Amino acid sequence: MSKTSRLALIERLVRENVIGSQEDLLRMVEDTGMKCTQATLSRDLRQLGISRGFDGSGGYRYLLPGGREGEAEALPGSATAAITGMTWARGLLLISTPPGFASAVAIRIDRAGRYEIAGTVAGDDTILLIPRDNISNEAIEECLKTIFKSDIK
């Protein structure tokens, strides 16, 4: 249970999850069996250059250095990594991706041909997903999980 492996774990957790506080991160770390305190995480985060920013939905999120979220992660293969955020607004789902990745991800969604999804519009780094009438947000999110489940490895 070395410091090094803890740092690696933290980096991965932060990259792959929306983590809003060190307490949350602590819980996730403990879930893997490792043990430490929030104070240690504070020091680790500084060492890793991971800082707290905004998640785009009014909440907070720890972000890897070098700015842009999952940008470092390539799309080829895992489209999930190319989805950097999702926000519901006005009954529509906005999906964020690194610049240039939106249409690639949108194509994946369209190809799935799900009834619940009326259609999508892709910009450069944002996809607007229009749910069919009377379909719940939850149903759409389930859809997406299903669609991208395949490449979670």
Minimum CB distance to DNA smaller for 6 or for 108: 6
Which positions from 63 through 82 interact with its own copies, judged by CB under 8 A?
Answer: 66-68
Binding of residue 53 to its own copies (CB under 8 A): yes
What is the DSSP track for 16-31? HS---SHHHHHHHHHH
Q: Which residues are near DNA by CB under 7 A? A: 2-3, 6, 20-23, 35-40, 42-46, 52, 60, 134-136, 138-139
Least separation in angstroms between CB 102 and DNA: 27
In the block, which residue shows the tokens 């069919």? 132
Binding of residue 18 to its own copies (CB under 8 A): no
CB 116 within 8 A of CB 132: yes
Residues 80-99 vs its own copies: string with x where CB under 8 A? -------x-xxxx-x-x---
Looking from the CA of 59 toward its CB, the CA atoms found within 13 Å total 12
Of these partners, DNA, its own copies, none, which one is at the site of residue 103 (CB under 5 to 8 Å by kind)? Answer: its own copies
3-state SS, residue 5? helix
Tokens of 13: 């957790």
Minimum CB distance to its own copies smaller for 29 or for 86: 86
Minimum CB distance to DNA smaller for 61 or for 122: 61
Q: Distance between CA atoms of 93 and 95, rounded to whole angstroms?
A: 6
Binding of residue 33 to its own copies (CB under 8 A): no
Q: Distance between CA atoms of 77 and 87, rounded to whole angstroms?
A: 24
Q: Distance between CA atoms of 83 and 125, rounded to whole angstroms?
A: 9
Q: Distance between CA atoms of 119 and 132, rounded to whole angstroms?
A: 8
Q: Which residues bind its own copies (CB under 8 A)?
A: 46, 49, 51-54, 58, 66-68, 87, 89-92, 94, 96, 103, 106-107, 110, 113, 115, 118-128, 130-133
